[in-house]
Amino acid sequence: MELERFRIIIEKSLLSYGFLSLLLVMETLQEEEEYELCSVILSVLKEHSKKYNLVIPLKYNKEAIEEMKYNFMKYHNLSGDITEQNHKQYALDILTEIRKESYL
């Protein structure tokens, strides 16, 4: 498996869809015991956090969801509930791309 190509997909997905979608992808990959891929996702999130001096949640939980909702209300004036549903669809889109690329 070419992890560098996987990393590129994850980096692109972070910029396109945001951290919550990647946390959902990582949760799915953990359930599938794809720990090497989870490690790449964590690495990308940590590097992005450090590069832009951000605090990015590293686990999909209530706090991560609330952080996302707050940011979308504050910066985009969008409903957090609708955005949460969008992130679930984005996670499915990312997983589809990963599967298409034969990583799973």
**For residue range 37-64, what is the model confidence (pLDDT) as tens digits?**
999 999 999 999 999 998 899 999 999 9
CA distance 92 to 104: 13
Provide the pLDDT for residue 80.
73
Its pTM surpasses 0.85: yes
Tell me the C-alpha distance between 22 and 91, whole Å. Answer: 6
CB 26 within 8 A of CB 42: yes
Averaged pLDDT, groups of 10, the chain, 104 residues long: 89 94 96 96 97 92 88 80 87 94 68
